Amino acid sequence: MTRGSVFVYNASTILKVKKPGFKMNFKPLANRLFIEPVEENTVTKSGIVLPDTAEKEKPVKGKVIATGPGKLTEKGERLPMAVKVGDIVLFKKYGPDEIELDGKKYLVGDEEDILAILE
């Protein structure tokens, strides 16, 4: 993809990528979800500013931008997702997989990778 794409998400949990002459939809399956990582502050508690070249920890906080319909049980029943689009969540550091779309990083993981919903 090239620059100029716009990411749109809606209540139907489809992540849409729009740009002139190109359109792509992403819809997580089962209990998967798309997370937009929230970058942590670049200033330490003591006031030291970390440069962009400093090695950074993997993010552990993010915003849910799309969710699947939920996990299917052996009886064929669908278990509803505990998280919803827009929730700010804490997740396992190495749980979700990283993907890059149009130069922006996103995470794709299971609902089990989520540790807590921040309120």
Q: Is residue 97 part of a domain?
A: yes
Is the pLDDT at 2 greater than 50? The verdict is: no
Residue 16's pLDDT is what?
54
Q: Are residues 27 and 16 in contact, defined by beta-carbon separation less than 8 angstroms? A: no
Can you give the CATH number for the domain in which 34 is found?
2.30.33.40
Residue 113 lies in a domain: yes
Residue-number span of the structural domain to which 45 is assigned: 28-118
Q: Domain for residue 86, yes or no? A: yes
Residue 11 lies in a domain: no
pTM of this structure: 0.67
Note whether residue 88 is domain-resident. yes
Q: What is the pLDDT of residues 58-90, one digit of tens each?
A: 668 999 999 999 999 999 999 999 999 999 999
Q: How many independent structural domains does the chain possess?
A: 1
Give pLDDT, residue 5.
43
